[in-house]
Structure 1
Amino acid sequence: MKEGIVKSVSKSRTHTFSKNICDKIILIKGLGVEGDAHMGEKVKHRSRVAKDPNQPNLRQIHLIHSELFKELKNKGFKVLDGELGENITTEGIDLLNLPKNTILTIGDTSKIKITGLRNPCKQIDLIQKGLMKAVLDKDKEGNLIRKAGIMGVVLEGGEIKVGDKIIIELPQKPYVKLERV
């Protein structure tokens, strides 16, 4: 089993792009982060609500690896935890290469099932010009790589705070590569 840690937690009651850093967040089974605008069984992201408000919410919680911020710093950007809209900033886990349906156990009781990649949007450039391009890349075959984190649903609720251990439980093989959700 691989492990990582929670570097920061954040939420926002309104549909702001960035989220506010908190001492802790509370996950609610099947809904998401208590007090966060994206909490719910049905989709809450405004662009998806406009298309079909009855879609299941596969984006209840957003995680970003802190290693991305270090990479961005090397490209001349200064990005703070919560600024890209994540609820949990992790350290020590290669989030982008986890397979779909991986279970992350965080703290004593919280469990998150990974549903896919976050598709970065042009609002990122409102934080810093050129940031959108910096969170996208291409692999050797020319396929798009989305680096703006992963999305998940809450399987088991509980409290999450800075320093909590994250344990990774991979799904059964064959693994399914993460796609945008």
Structure 2
Amino acid sequence: MPANNRGTVVAVCRNPQPGLPKPVVESIHLLEGWGVEGDYHAGRFVRHRFLARKFPTRPNQRQVLLTDTSILDDLASQDIRLAPGMMGENLTLDQIAVMQLPVGTQLEIGEALIEITEVRNPCHQLNGIDPRLLQAVVRKDEGRTRFNAGVLARILRSGWVRPGDAVRVLTAQEAANN
């Protein structure tokens, strides 16, 4: 399924503590070069616990985690029913297939601008939500491992984001002008 270029924010989540799930909140403030204000993963340097131990001065390019409703629908078809935030995402989107977006794609979300930096490599913590979850989001396809657990991004322009806000995938030309 190709990614649409316009969508909507379904839910926003943050948690000052590590771990899953991230509670759904009314709004989040994305801070340029930092992350989601009040979220454990915000900061100048990488906050992922394993990566932070291994590379404590690595710049944080994993500032915000995005999933979309197609991921939740896929899991529901496997009898794993999740609400927004349960996979640890900060943003749950509708009408945009985040797993189809290449690294470097920029999205305007509410007032903010973000750039996809990597596909999320899911870990065993997901099994704390459902013991089948990690296996459900990791697939083998023609000898390659494919993940279906969201994408990580960095924040290029600060802004508030709320459910119902518009999401727009920028064209390459628009992104080059930023």
What TM-score comes out, normalization by structure 2 length? Answer: 0.92
Please state if 1:76 is matched with 2:79.
yes
Aligned residues: 170
Q: For 2:13 and 2:100, how far apart are their aligned partners in 1? A: 23
Question: In structure 2, what residue type is equivalent to 1:166?
Answer: V
- Aligned partner of 1:176 in structure 2 is none
4+ residue runs over 2 A deviation: none
Q: For 1:131 and 1:75, how far apart are their aligned partners in 2? A: 10
Q: For 1:170 and 1:151, how far apart are their aligned partners in 2? A: 19
**Aligned-pair distance for 1:138?**
2.4
Question: In structure 2, what residue type is equivalent to 1:158?
Answer: G
Whether contact under 8 Å (1:103, 1:168) holds in the other structure is yes
Counting aligned pairs with the same residue, the percent is: 35
> Helix, strand or coil for the counterpart of 1:123?
helix
Q: For 1:118 and 1:170, how far apart are their aligned partners in 2? A: 23
- The root-mean-square deviation of aligned C-alpha atoms, in Å, is 1.2
Q: For 1:168 and 1:91, how far apart are their aligned partners in 2? A: 12
Within 5 Å, which residues of 2 pair with 1:83-122?
83-107=86-110, 109-122=111-124
- Aligned partner of 1:11 in structure 2 is 14
- Aligned partner of 2:176 in structure 1 is none
What TM-score comes out, normalization by structure 1 length? Answer: 0.90
Whether contact under 8 Å (2:20, 2:129) holds in the other structure is no
Whether contact under 8 Å (1:43, 1:58) holds in the other structure is yes
Q: For 1:169 and 1:106, how far apart are their aligned partners in 2? A: 11
Within 5 Å, which residues of 2 pair with 1:1-181?
2-107=5-110, 109-139=111-141, 141-171=142-172
**Aligned-pair distance for 1:66?**
1.3
**Aligned-pair distance for 1:142?**
2.1
Gaps of 5+ in 1: 173-181
TM-aligned CA distance change 1:36 to 1:42, over 3 Å:
same
> Helix, strand or coil for the counterpart of 1:55?
coil
